[in-house]
Structures are given as C-alpha cells and as structure tokens.
Structure 1
Amino acid sequence: MAQFESCFVVDGYRFLPYHDKAKVESRAVDKFKFKPGDVIVVGFPKSGNTWLVEVLKAMYNDWGLEKYGEAESAVFLEERTLYKNYFSDKRKEFVETVKCEDIPSPRLMRTHIPATLFPCHLLKDKGVKVIHISRNPKDVLVSAYYFWKSWAHGALSTGDWEQTVNDFIEDRQAFTPWVRHVGDWSLKGIEDNVFQVTYEEMKQGLPRVVTKMANFLHRPLTEEDIDRVVRTTTVEVMRNSLSKFLVLDDDIIPEGENPMVRKGIVGDWKNHFTVAQSELFDSKIGEKIRSINPNIPYQ
C-alpha cells in the first residue's frame, strides 16, 4: 500500500485525511482573524520548522502561545482553519480549550499551507510577518521517512525507503509537490513581509540568523540574548523536551521516541540515497528548483 493514499488533492497539493477538503477548497484560512504583530513560521514539513519555532520562542519571552499544562507551543494554523478532526484527543481538547482569539499579541504561529492557498495579500494590510524556512529536499525526505515511521506508529508509512523516495518524486506525499511549495514561498521577500531562512544557514551560523530575524522583526537582541538562544535550542535540549512544545496522547508515538527531533544534521541523505536514487532525484527535483530559485539549498 502506497504512503498517504488517503490524502486528497486541492490546487495540486496533497492534504492529510484529517484536513477538511471543503475548508481547503473554500480557502477557510482567508477568514482567520490575523492580528497586527502576528509572526508565522512557514515551511514544508520536516524543513526545520520546529527548530525555528523554538529559536523564536527563546528570542523573546512575550509571545502569545498555546499554553496547556507544561507545553507552550506556537499556534498551528491548520488546526484553527482547515481541520475536520484531530489526530489526538489531547490536541482536540487543547484547541477547544485555548481559543485563538484570546491569545495575546504578539502571537507566534506555524503552518505548512502553500503560498497559493494562503492569504499572502493580507500580510501587510494586517501587519503580519512570515518567516519561511527551506531545506535541502534530500534531507527533508530522510527526516520525513523517520517521522512517519514513528508518527501514529507508522499508520501513514509503508516503512519502505524506496517507496518513500518514489512517493516524494511523484508528488504523493503530504503537501507535495515540494518544488512548487518551496518555490512559491521562496520567491516572496521583505517587500511582502516575508523573511527567508534556510536550515543550512541556521546550522552554519545560528547567531547570525538570529540577528537577522531580530532585525526583520524590529526587535534587536543583545549578544547575551543571542548566546542564550543558541545554548537553549540545541538538538540535545529539544530532543529531551518534547512535552514542552507539543501536546499529544501517549499512544500517538512509541514510548521514548521524539519524531519531531532526530539527528538535526546536514547531509544525512548521503547515508540513505543510492547513487541511482540521488540521480533520479536530481533530474526530477533538483533541476526544477534550480530553475525557479537557485538560492534554495540543494545537493
């Protein structure tokens, strides 16, 4: 059985079965009441979204977040706009208990929604800023492979690497096509209230990225602040802090595992792709994204 065969397609993108097709088609996210000061992390799944959110949370202590028990998480925009059911009873209770309109500004949010289905025209009008993160898609795929093997005990995964590669290339995985998703968002800039960052840039020099994001948000930080952010958002810290940034039922993932944070390295794809798979990926994915935006990381 192929991965994600229960997904549905809207505007060429594949959505997961707990999304509501009617809400996606009617662009329900357009009706979301954004507030001045909202900051939204956008990215294709497994591009470093969780790490970026945690970095932003560490940068400032006044974010409006979804707070439930010991967890403090960014508002997941899909849950507030596009869901028909929830993958976790705790998530459902979480969303129904913490009303988004009651969360104080500045609210920190996250989403995987493609640019063509997102109300980008409202960003400047509403005083909303987006930070888009991209990552080498080969590493994205490796991260996704392990994520789906753990998530819901592999309910959406065949566990087969060859199948996973083919599904990604053939746009059968959730939120694919990757090229279009990342390409559309990557072409938006500061003039659109969108800041671009890559996972690789964060790994190479997080202090520099933090400084740039602080300037984009017009909220400069001291060197001491930046040092603190770097110390408190390492892979090791995040791997042991799942309950602090995500609310889930205990049976969603195998005990002791953290599907949100694995190795957190650059280039792990080299340990998984065969030469033939890499060459096929280059011809189907690499050539397309380079023609759209050569600044997107690709190996």
Structure 2
Amino acid sequence: MDLPPRPTLFDFHGVSMTKYFTDNWDNVQNFKARPDDILIATYPKSGTTWVSYILDLMHFGDKCSDRETSIPIYLRVPFLEICVPSLESGKDLADKLTTTPRLIKTHLPVQFVPKSFWENNCRIIYVARNAKDTAVSYFHFDRMNHVQPEPGDWSNFLQKFMQGKMVFGSWYDHVTGWWEKKETYSKLHYMFYEDLTEDSGREIDRLCTFLGLPLSAAAKEAVRTGVTFDSMKQNTMTNYSTILIMNHNVSPFMRKGKVGDWKNHFTVSQNECFDEDYNKKMKNPTLKIRTEL
C-alpha cells in the first residue's frame, strides 16, 4: 500500500490531534458500547499493547488458541478512534467484534471518551507510564510510524512533549484527568507500567479481581509467561510487524520495554529542565509515578 502522508497537528477542542484520529469523530462519539465491553485507555506508548494482550489471554487464551496465532492483536483489540484511508476504521473493527467481552483500546483523554461507555457502566482499565520513558518511547515511535507527525530531533521533540504538542495532547493532562475520574467512576482500574514491570503476576491478580475473573493459578502463569516483553517482541501477532505504515527498520514497534531507559536519552540539563517543568505541571500530589525501579 502507499504510505499515508504524515499529518500535521492542530488544536481540537483544546487537545493537539491529527486528522487520523478526528476524521471519524462523529461516528466514534456515537459508538454504542455494551455493558460487558472492556475499554483499555492509555496515553500513547504507555503499555497499551501489553495490557491488551494480557486481557486477551485472560479472557480467550484457553478458549480460542488459534485466535492467538492467526489474528493480530490490533484486530482482536481495535483502536477505536483511528481512521486511516485504505484501512478499516477502528470504530468499524470494534463494531464487528464477535467476542464477549469486546476488548477495545483508546488513547483519548477522559473528556473525549464516547458517552455510551459511561452510560453502560463499562469496566475501564487505564495504564500510566512515567513521563520520561513515555517521551523516549513516543520519540522512537514517531520516527517509525507514518501516521504520526515528523518528530524532528530528540531535543526539539522533548520540548514539544513538555508543551503538550503531541498527538492526544499533554501527558500531564491525560494521566491526571483519568486519575481524577476514578474518584467518581468506580469501574475504573488505574494501573502503572512500572508496577507491571516490577511484578506482572501481582498485577494480573489485581486485574482478575477487578474483572471478576476466577482464573486458576496455572492459567495466570500461562498469561504471565505469554506476555513477557521478549516473547511479545518475537510474536508476529503482537509486535505489529504486519502493519505496513510502520517502518521497523527505523525503530522496532517493541523496542526495549524497560523502566529507566530515559537515562540513555536525557542530558543532565534536559533532565533538570524536565524535572522543574514536571513539578509545576503535576498539580495532583496523590499521583506518583516512579521513573526507576
């Protein structure tokens, strides 16, 4: 297929977006969620695919093994708001899902989530990742993904990240908006990438409790071993190697998956400047995210 032209950012109701996520806006906003749908929400590059695969294995790993080896994760867990010419929209893919529950992912900030998810009291899982590692991962992602704006060099990219000039807007607003939502919406499970890295078994247990899934110890262990970074990186159904709009020769979709890789990218002065800016923008003292383990 011909690669789509790289988009430009524009302000969309106060959030930086591109046409690939707003062209289908009315259809996305009118999406009809079902009470048993599970929405996986994240800021980009925060463990979306990881948690998508965990949930997919938890629900269907022992029931539809051929699905795990023949259907890529982006078709099993559609990306609700994406709309790229010549590809089926995420909304249409979600409508066509035959699984129960339907697993759907989004990068939308909390105020943009279609109202049917709230009205149907759907379970929502949010994953946050520390800002420094998110920025590094987002930089490499933009280098290899043609539906993202040109990232420029690392120094300029980091400035744009701090200013919230990213697709899906400010990291600070995103993680804080969802954090505050859980105070008023009980079906929201807020997770941290760093916790998953530290002890995925513990986090799988917590997900089982939240979802009311009585998995056996053996089933939980099968999920845990199936979702290690190395196994997912080698798995063509989870590593996005079948997506033609991504150039894995520039940077693999699944790059390192580590906590603290930011130390290999930030200079001392960049880190000092980032920390000062972070302390101004992170207004909610209850939201603490580790930058190293």
| TM bucket normalised to smaller | 0.7 to 0.9
- In structure 1, the residue matched to 2:175 is 182
Aligned match of 2:98: 103
Once the two structures are TM-superposed, the CA of residue 254 in structure 1 deviates from its matched residue by 3.7
The normalised TM-score by structure 2 is 0.84
Q: Tell which deviates more after alignment, 36-45 or 186-195.
A: 186-195
Provide the residue aligned with 2:88 in structure 1.
92
2:252 to 258, 277, 284: 258
Contact 2:162/2:274 (<8 A) preserved: yes
Report SS of the residue matched to 1:60.
Answer: helix
Amino acid at match of 1:162: S
Change (3 A) 1:56 1:99: closer
Gap change, CA 1:137 and 1:11, over 3 Å in 2: same
Structure 1 stretch displaced more, 271-280 or 128-137: 271-280
Aligned 8 A contact 1:48 1:199 in 2: yes
CA distance in 2, matches of 1:127, 1:35: 9
**Contact 2:31–2:91 (Cα < 8 Å) also in 1:** no
Query: What is the rounded CA distance, in whole Å, between the counterparts of 2:112 and 2:233 in structure 1?
Result: 32
**5+ unaligned residues in a row in structure 1: which ranges?**
none
Q: Does 1:8 find its partner at 2:6?
A: no
CA distance in 2: counterparts of 1:296 and 1:5, whole angstroms: 33
Amino acid aligned to 2:178: W
Cα deviation for residue 101 of structure 1 reads 4.5
Matches within 5 A, 1:260-299: 261-289=254-282, 291-299=283-291
Q: Alpha-carbon deviations, 1:98-133, whole Å to 9, x = none?
A: 56155332100100011111146x445314110000
2:136–2:262 contact (8 Å) kept in structure 1 = yes
Q: Percent identity?
A: 25
Matches of 1:293 and 1:246, distance apart in 2: 36
2:164 is the alignment partner of 1:171: yes
Larger CA deviation: 190-199 vs 180-189: 190-199
- The structure-2 alpha-carbon separation of the partners of 1:35 and 1:94, relative to structure 1 and needing over 3 Å to count, comes to closer
Root-mean-square deviation (CA), in Å?
Answer: 2.9
Secondary structure, aligned partner of 2:146: helix
Pairwise CA distance, 1:173: 1.5
Counterparts in 2 of 1:210 and 1:169: CA distance versus 1, 3 Å: same
SS in 2 for 1:214: helix
Equivalent position of 1:201 in the other structure: 195
Counterpart residue number, 1:56: 55
Task: Report how far residue 70 of structure 1 moved.
Answer: 3.5
Q: Is the 8 A contact 1:131 1:197 kept in 2?
A: yes
In 1: Cα distance, 2:194 partner to 2:113 partner: 25
SS at match of 2:41: strand
Cα gap change, 1:100/1:225 in structure 2, threshold over 3 Å: closer, same or farther? same
Q: CA deviation at 1:18?
A: 1.7
* CA distance in structure 2 between the partners assigned to 1:194 and 1:99 by the alignment: 20
Q: Which moved more, 1:171-180 or 1:44-53?
A: 171-180
Asked if structure 1 preserves the Cα contact closer than 8 Å seen for 2:78 and 2:105, the reply is: yes
Amino acid at match of 1:270: K
One-letter amino acid of the counterpart of residue 186, structure 2: D
